[in-house]
Structure 1
Amino acid sequence: MIRFNGVSKHFGAVRALDVFSLEVREGLVYGLIGPNGAGKTTAMSILSTLLLPDAGTVTVDGLDVVREAGEVRGRIGYMPDFFGVYDGLRAAEYLEFFAAAYHIPPAERQRLAKMLLELVNLPDKADVYVDSLSRGMKQRLALARCLVHDPRVLILDEPASGLDPRARAEMKEIIRHLKHLSKTVLISSHILPELAEICDEVAIMDAGRLAACGTVAEITAVSRGARQMKVEVLDRAEELAGFLASRSGIAEPLVDGPAVKFFLNGERAEQAALLQEIIYAGWPVAEFGEVRRNLEEAFMAVTGEGGENIEGN
């Protein structure tokens, strides 16, 4: 659905994108994260046909964003991190104005505005002036504006920026609903725990390049060519570490309080077999599973501030 292929973009001596490549499959909620200056907004601006790449190609649904920009604009909805609203308009009028810009027939505009206000949980704000809405309501109204022409792809740059927890929760639910409507959503945010909750896959950018990508589970796994596991027992953790050290396919068992962490070569079948062995050997197991970082820890590791690296797909 979305494909960046070897895209570069310079602003004077600043290299915003450096041979950047990424593919986002149809129907996914896809997170784009990275430190300030990583190139996220530049990538989104090129995808939205607002900037031209210096090199490489970008396509949306097979359409080139440079050569077929007009058609691309009909298939995307873009919500930038900073946007304006027309304070002299009521919420419904605001949506009807943009519907007119997309040449939607006059007879359909009022119905469409009502439907979109319901979608973003603002049905009672149709006759309220935009300038009297809270920031969270304005964000949701701006998202509704992106949907007036029923785009297949939504590009959301920091949609929850500056929102309070309740407003962020409302925005998350709306994004989940958009996925159920078969929209492909590319979303940039610095609020990593919430991205981890709503995204099917994520990509981490650093210095204009793709540093890692994959599912949230893949990105947050502690990867060293083996899975890092943790087994917590009610007693005899030191003995369990010795027991694990004697098993093939297990490396670096380390006691951590009542638990033992270790690296295991193998998939779910090997994990299940090992758990059975531990239980049959008499250890009372309280917890057994794979060690994972949260997305913030993975981000710090990938961008060189966490002291370790992870591999993306």
Structure 2
Amino acid sequence: MISTNGLIKKYGRTLALQGLDLEVPLGAVYGFIGQNGAGKTTTLRILAGLLRPDAGEAAVVGRDVLRDPRGIREVVGYMPDFFGVYDDLRVGEYLLFYAAAYGIRGVTAQKLRDDLLELVELGHKRDVFVDTLSRGMQQRLCLARSLIHDPQVLLLDEPASGLDPVARVEMREILRELCRLGKTIIISSHILTELADLCTYVGMISEGRLLRQGPLNDLLAGDRLRRFILRSNGPADAAAEIIKGWPGAAIINNLPEQVEFQLSGAADDVALLLKEIIGAGLPVVHYAQTEQSLEDTFIQLAREVNG
């Protein structure tokens, strides 16, 4: 498990992390969601042992980030949002260089190089120079680099940043394969749609504070975040008036023949509201809960916490 307790980090007068508490189960694909500047990169650098917090604790699979930095580097593979490459190295040489840094040499390193290039679909590029690769290919090469020592945990900071749609799909498929291999993965991103069909757990961060975390399905199915659409055979103004006066209900969008609204409370409240509307003689032709998106959930939580 990966956990942090009360992490605080300041950059001068700027408070980047404000008592951050994370819980990432082993084997999870954890989507770390937040706007640019929310504290995602700072958190990942602390977990990778590259940055010391000003206060708080952090541990990765039982290894303390502050007390055991060498142990952290053995179990963690880190892919930064901005990375350097050695332009005068060929792709295969690039991976052999990093393998040597971990004490892996000879035939073992060569086989590892070939296996990783196959995993990230760059086997055909082994002998070309790194600086001739496209942005997407360089991203995949750096992912291979982070896997060179077969870490239990991967920390990926905006892995699809700057990629075109095709390259994003390719990166997503590689990450799915790593999931099947049993890696625990934290993926930070501000592009929420990229994580919805990949992650099993989600943590939402804003201004250095954790808004909410938990299994993805639980996060999207929370009672207080449910949205509904009502359509009528004619003007929906009367239905909108009933919804406005209903406890826990709030109008999101009111169109001539359709009302989109939010409703908190138990499942019985959903049925009771429909009964009230029909009882008023209104011609309802559609009444259903809409699918809650990660983006909707994040925006609402951020507004609640930040006012």
TM-score interval, normalised by the smaller of the two chains: 0.7 to 0.9
Question: Judging changes above 3 Å, is the alpha-carbon distance between structure 1 residues 116 and 210 closer, same or farther for their aligned structure 2 residues?
Answer: same
TM-score by length of 1: 0.82
CA displacement at 1:282 relative to structure 2: 12
Question: Are residue 297 (structure 1) and residue 304 (structure 2) matched?
Answer: no
Letter in 2 for 1:295: L
Question: Judging changes above 3 Å, is the alpha-carbon distance between structure 1 residues 251 and 137 closer, same or farther for their aligned structure 2 residues?
Answer: closer
1:54-90: CA deviation from partner (whole Å, max 9, x where unpaired):
2111000011011111111110100111111112221
Question: Judging changes above 3 Å, is the alpha-carbon distance between structure 1 residues 78 and 257 closer, same or farther for their aligned structure 2 residues?
Answer: same
Secondary structure at the counterpart of residue 297 of structure 1? helix
Alpha-carbon distance between aligned partners in 1 of 2:264 and 2:6, rounded to the nearest angstrom? 36
CA displacement at 1:238 relative to structure 2: 7.0
Question: Are residue 38 (structure 1) and residue 46 (structure 2) matched?
Answer: no
Question: Are residue 194 (structure 1) and residue 194 (structure 2) matched?
Answer: yes
Question: Are residue 59 (structure 1) and residue 79 (structure 2) matched?
Answer: no
Q: Which shifted more, 226-235 or 270-279?
A: 270-279
Q: Which shifted more, 165-174 or 134-143?
A: 165-174
Question: Judging changes above 3 Å, is the alpha-carbon distance between structure 1 residues 284 and 83 closer, same or farther for their aligned structure 2 residues?
Answer: same
Alpha-carbon distance between aligned partners in 2 of 1:27 and 1:144, rounded to the nearest angstrom? 19
CA displacement at 1:118 relative to structure 2: 1.1
Match of 2:207 in 1: 207
The answer on whether the counterparts of 1:231 and 1:289 sit within 8 Å (CA) in structure 2 is no
What are the equivalent positions in structure 2 for 1:121-270 lying under 5 Å apart?
A: 121-220=121-220, 225=224, 227-232=226-231, 256-261=255-260, 263=263, 265-267=265-267
Alpha-carbon distance between aligned partners in 1 of 2:15 and 2:305, rounded to the nearest angstrom? 23
What are the equivalent positions in structure 2 for 1:98-113 lying under 5 Å apart?
A: 98-113=98-113
**Which ranges of structure 1 fall in alignment gaps of 5 or more residues?**
none
TM-score by length of 2: 0.84
What are the equivalent positions in structure 2 for 1:279-290 lying under 5 Å apart?
A: 285-286=285-286, 288-290=288-290
Letter in 2 for 1:299: F
Letter in 2 for 1:230: I
Letter in 2 for 1:46: I
The answer on whether the counterparts of 2:243 and 2:273 sit within 8 Å (CA) in structure 1 is no
Match of 1:75 in 2: 75
**Which ranges of structure 2 fall in alignment gaps of 5 or more residues?**
none
Question: Are residue 115 (structure 1) and residue 123 (structure 2) matched?
Answer: no
Question: Judging changes above 3 Å, is the alpha-carbon distance between structure 1 residues 13 and 121 closer, same or farther for their aligned structure 2 residues?
Answer: same
Question: Judging changes above 3 Å, is the alpha-carbon distance between structure 1 residues 101 and 189 closer, same or farther for their aligned structure 2 residues?
Answer: same
Alpha-carbon distance between aligned partners in 2 of 1:228 and 1:167, rounded to the nearest angstrom? 33
Alpha-carbon distance between aligned partners in 1 of 2:104 and 2:44, rounded to the nearest angstrom? 26
Matched residues, percent identical?
48
1:290-313: CA deviation from partner (whole Å, max 9, x where unpaired):
452x32333333333xxx569xxx
